[in-house]
Amino acid sequence: PTQRPVQRVTVLGSTGSVGTSTLDVIGRHPDRYSVHALTAHTSKEALLAQCLVHRPAVAVLDIEADAVWLRQALKRAGLPTEVSAGPEALCEVARDESVDCVMAAIVGSAGLLPALAAADAGKRVLLANKEALVMSGALFMEAVARSGATLLPIDSEHNAIYQCLPAQHRGGLARHGVTQLLLTASGGPFRTWCQADINQVTPEQACAHPNWSMGRKISVDSATLMNKGLELIEACWLFDAMPEQIQVVVHPQSVIHSMAAYQDGSVIAQLGNPDMRTPIAYGLAWPERIAAGVETLDLFQVARLDFEAPDEARFPCLGLARAAMQQGGGAPVILNAANEVAVEAFLQRRLGFTQIGQLVAEVLSRPSQSHADSLESVLATDQWARQQALELVTRWSA
């Protein structure tokens, strides 16, 4: 058999939900993958444990004091892993010459610059961090095209759509006879709740997702349906689609991960157990397939598949995201930044659940000179919107 070279992988956000699943898949295939770098924000103990197993060349934390702690612990364990700290170190391990593949699994806007660094450097980019595309979709896709990077979507819906499209789907959906993308949504834990009960939702309730186990931010986003709104924007950029070409379909079993509809009437779907290791393994091995540790779907156990339209009255965030994408320019940047601030305030019990959407709508309605045509303008718009959102949190939680 021919010997294939081992792929060197950087996992950004390795201690998170997607990061942990990524290391689980990598650990099953030591003949195919080795780890160049692992990174975490503050969870230094978890990062140490991962380093002991995966023996990366580099480990990155946010602050130098944590890096000092990790350096000493690794030295005691006899590992030669280099430890660095801060946002620039994240970009370095993303663009390092020895790296083939970068998993972008940091949550929120903090993931933008390292993901962009990987795209700029022409890596195989496994993109879980949807906020990067929401903030800077045009710039990101340009960087991918310019550098010749391979962009593989890891968000399960986008990974599903990718699998349902023809292998060469560049150049617009219409060219390939695709009329619509059907983006499935679980509907979140409050799908059947009345408005009065939704108003009383606590962070604990919002973080307990029925089908997926995820980080806290995306769990809240799933509960408000902002996650589906961010995914709609993400799909527009990934597949060169108009917002009108994307239909959100609530499918509570989360077994169909999304679909593509063709002009001949065919609808192609990708199904599987809800486990992120499937899209992660797909991204790592594409165009080949590897084992992911996920059991084959048992359709007799699933028994039935249900579909319904999303209720945008109880879940206004979806409509806000669609409108922001239609408006274009800096609107998606503002939507994302205001949402990040609002979700954090909700998790700290400074805002109610329903106020998340209200706050995002309020910041979006304010006059701004927002653009997203350069990285500088994206970052400036992001800062402006955060400032506005923080002021509102202070006022509304007083």
Applying CB under 6 A, which residues contact ligand NAD?
13-19, 40-41, 43, 62, 105-107, 110, 128-131, 155, 212, 214-215, 218, 276
Nearer to ligand NAD, 17 or 258 (CB): 17
Between 120 and 155, CB nearer to Mg ion: 155
Edge to edge, what strands does the sheet with 82-85 contain?
Answer: 82-85, 58-61, 33-39, 7-12, 101-104, 124-127, 150-153
Parallel, antiparallel, or unpaired for β 178-185 and 150-153? Answer: unpaired
**Measured from the CB atom, is 43 or 368 closer to ligand NAD?**
43
120 lies in the binding site for Mg ion (CB under 5 A): no
Question: What is the footprint of Mg ion within residues 139-168 (CB under 5 A)?
Answer: 155-157
- Alpha-carbon distance of 103 to 84, in angstroms, equals 18
Closest to ligand NAD by CB, 49 or 174: 49
Neighbours of 218 (CB within 10 A): 25
**The entry of Mg ion, ligand NAD, none that residue 176 binds, CB within 5 to 8 Å by partner kind:** none
Least gap, CB of 183 to ligand NAD (angstroms) = 13
**221 lies in the site for Mg ion, by CB under 5 A:** no
- 14/355 with CB nearer ligand NAD: 14
CA distance 160 to 271: 8
- For 309-332, the DSSP string reads ---TTT-THHHHHHHHHHH-TTHH
Tokens describing residue 178: 């695709």
Q: How far is the CB of 156 from ligand NAD (least distance, A)?
A: 6
Q: Is residue 275 involved in binding Mg ion (CB under 5 A)?
A: no
Q: Give Cα 149 distance to the centre of its chain.
A: 18
Find the shortest distance in angstroms from Cβ 358 to ligand NAD.
Answer: 22
73 binds, among ligand NAD, Mg ion, none (CB under 5 to 8 A by kind): none
CB of 309 to ligand NAD, least distance (A): 23
**Residue 218 contact among ligand NAD, Mg ion, none, beta carbon within 5 to 8 Å by kind:** ligand NAD
> Which position has the token pair 């084959």?
296
Least distance to ligand NAD from the beta carbon of 49, Å?
A: 13
- Report the residue closest to ligand NAD, judged by CB: 16
Buried b (16+ CB within 10 A) or exposed e, 359-381: bbbbbbeeebebebeeeebbbbb
- Residue 157 or 382: the one with the smaller Cβ distance to Mg ion is 157
Among candidate residues 103, 82, 99, the one with its CA nearest the CA of residue 14: 103
Q: Choose between 29 and 41: whose C-beta lies nearer to ligand NAD.
A: 41
Give least dist CB 158 to Mg ion, A.
Answer: 7
Residue whose entry in the numeric block shows the structure tokens 């500088």? 376
What is the DSSP pairing of strand 256-262 with strand 267-271?
Answer: antiparallel
Question: How far is residue 290's CA from residue 29's CA, in Å, rounded to a whole number?
Answer: 9
- Say which entry of Mg ion, ligand NAD, none residue 23 contacts (CB below 5 to 8 A, set by partner kind): none
Q: How far apart are CA 94 and CA 110, in angstroms?
A: 14
Q: Which does 327 bind (CB under 5 to 8 A by kind): Mg ion, ligand NAD, none?
A: none
Residue partners of 345: CB distance under 8 A and separation at least 6: 351, 359, 393, 397
- Minimum CB separation of residue 376 from Mg ion in Å reads 29
Q: DSSP code of 308?
A: B
Listed in sequence order, the residues at least 6 apart from 376 whose beta carbon sits closer than 8 Å to its beta carbon are: none
Contacts with Mg ion: how many residues (CB under 5 A)? 3
Nearer Cβ to Mg ion (17/156) = 156
Residue that the structure tokens 């359709």 belong to: 299
| 66: contact with Mg ion by CB under 5 A | no
With CB under 5 to 8 Å by kind, the binding choice for 110 among Mg ion, ligand NAD, none is ligand NAD
Q: CB-wise, 69 or 262, nearer to ligand NAD?
A: 69
Please report whether residue 131 would count as binding Mg ion according to CB under 5 A. Answer: no
Q: Which residues of 189-199 are buried (b: 16+ CB within 10 A; e: fewer)?
A: bbbeeeeeebe
Residues that bind Mg ion (CB under 5 A): 155-157
